Structure 1
Amino acid sequence: MTVYRKISLLMLAVFLLVYLLGALFYTQQARHDVQRELEGAAGLAGSLVSPTTLPESVVGTLRHLTPVDDTGGSRGGEVPAWFSALIAGESSPPVVNGWQVNPKDEVEEIWEGFLLISGAYAIGMGLCFLALFFIVRRGMRTLTSLSEAMGAVSTGQLTSRLPRQGEQELDELVCRFNSMAVALESEQQTVSRLLNELLQLQDREREHIARVLHDDLGQYLTGIRAQARSLLYDPDLSDRQKQQARDLAEHCETIQKHFRHLLQELHPLVMEQLGLGSAIRHLTEQWQQLSGLECRLAMDERLPDFTGEQQTHLYRFLQEALNNVSRHANASCATLAVARNDNELSVEVRDDGVGNDQLPGNAGLGVRSMCERARCLGGEVRFLSRLGEGTRIRLAVPLTPGTGGVA
């Protein structure tokens, strides 16, 4: 039940109680007044002569007294019988000296007064309910706005603010909400900045480790493999020793193969050498080899002129999306589409896996890093997933018209 209905029912009960108590007091006083009028009319009838000896003009002007043999219509016929019985009683009017003491005139006046008071009370009650309606409506409008703003905040829209209110209590509530929203927005900006710095630091550390491994460990593995291959042509070695050298060379080749995959995971050197498009193609090819799943790539050749940091964010975004497919989707195929128009770069990663109705509500660190990388690109990411229907991840990055850079 709404607040307005509760207050209205409570006010209605109070109004009815006051009305009933007022009606009770009114009828009690009216009965007392009628009784006094009847006593006064009976005393007057005792002092008068028989109505048959008086002119009709005099008889008609007497209040509460009518001749016993008067069969004409009596005044006050519009008064309900129950009200007349309540005020004057149900006993027959007394007869004194040929006069019938009849209180109908007085009852009619009381009934008219009762209707007037009841009408005025009803009008006052209606005005009170009307005023209550507008007051509650104004207050509920503010509460509704507050509820909508809180819902927006719960979805991450921390820029929601409410205007000041004329009522002190509502204004204090609005001010507290605005202060809370400002604090949350500030904390979100701080967290986003720290997370962005953490991602940049992570990418730099990966790049550093990849270069160290490539320049040092990679060279050592290449040297060991070359030496093992050279032993195969040494005439002083036995067949067993040559087989051991051959096995050592094969092991080095296997290590180098996994080593290259590790370097690509840590830092895509191909992106520095050949650009973002080639890095994305290499990523899909490598993902197919490691996961054993098919990846259909549809990529626009006109990719934006991203900075190195932006390219890294987009590459890591796609890398995490494909890794999630191989780890969690239980899919047989994935599709990666990259399209560009004048105002936007659109990226979609789709799979035919099991789907997840709770995505991104129960998202892990990988999905959160994807959201942060999308924010660093100035874009918006959407996760569309339903149980049994696979998952779609859509990234939209706005571009500056004419320049091809991120807006």
Structure 2
Amino acid sequence: MNVMTQILLMVNSTFVLALVVSLATLLVQGREDVLREQQAMKPVVEALIQSGQAQQILALVGSSLRHVQVAGNAVERPVEESVPAWFESLFDHPGRGYQLALTDSNGKKVVLISDDRDEIEEVWHSSSWLFWLFCGCALISNLAIYLGVRAGLRPLADVLAAFDQVQQGHLHARLGRYSLREANDLASHFNEMTESLESARNENRFLTRTLMEIQEQERSALARELHDDLGQQLTGVRVHSCVLPFQLNKPEQLLETSERILLGCDAINMGFRRIINNLYPVVLERLGLQAAVEELLRSTGQTTGLQCVLSGDHWPGWSEDDASQVYRLMQEAVNNAVRHAEATEVRISLTTDGQQQVTLQVQDNGSASSDAIAGFGMRSMAERARLLGGTLTVDFSPQGTRVTAELPYPEGEE
């Protein structure tokens, strides 16, 4: 059963109940009125009979004495004014009706009986009028409810159709404006939802495409480094190793060749350490996040001359995966300060608010603008903060750029 049928059924049931109660009340009141009229007329007729003016009484029957008639002389009423027998039977009562006898001037005995048809007819007309009034009101109410509910349900049908489109992947689905304020609010929230979903999907597509591009770039850089650097070093070590047997009787040349082999091995070792550290900071796994960040700042300062300052009152015990996300976030912020801001100083601070929130802040004194670094790096930092359950904000000012990540305190950390 749909909503329209349920509403109309409840409304019509209410009308029927109200009609039954009203008719029952009207009928009870009508029966009391009819009985009261009869009881009030009987003493009047008795008094007239006792006065001995029979002819005058008979002349008043049907006019002044309209609730009395002569037995056997009932006046036929028009069909349109007649009351159905079943309705008149509803007024049967033990105290209903009476008979009074009198003798006319000719000595003929005449019997007067009560006539309550006028009162019953009034109740019948009132009941008929009430019945048709209820029917008319019910018809108008049903029509108004049908039109109103149909207008109210139309937006729901549009919403269901739009949800079907969203389910099929068509996130461009939008709802229009409606005459109902509530429907407009629903359409506005739906449109905002689909816009957010579409934006998130586009963002995910951009991130996926950029990740694939960066993956290819890293593979190319790794291949170049292995081929151009480590490959050349290995070739040199191999060449010097091949001449060693021929220098056994030449101590000076043997010593020089051995030193070159050792230098080549050291270069290969440094190259491998550099590659491994770029792929994953081993110190993070062995010594923890704080030591890894300190090593990051030390190596960055040695390579670029950037002055790095680290401060923190307490480093929470993140899990290995979460600590890796925090490290990469800080690494990206430092790299942005080096590549885009042309900064000479960067300060990293980590503060905790009891055991509820961790605030990580990277501040540089460079001159980067939002357009200069509004790329994958900034999005990756925001995504890492979101994965950790926090938020990321970036503020640009003439004094430098400040990256602030507000992260929840790790669960289970005391």
Q: Under TM normalisation by the shorter chain, which class is it?
A: 0.3 to 0.5
TM-score if structure 1 supplies the norm length? 0.47
- Bigger CA radius of gyration: 2
TM-score if structure 2 supplies the norm length? 0.46
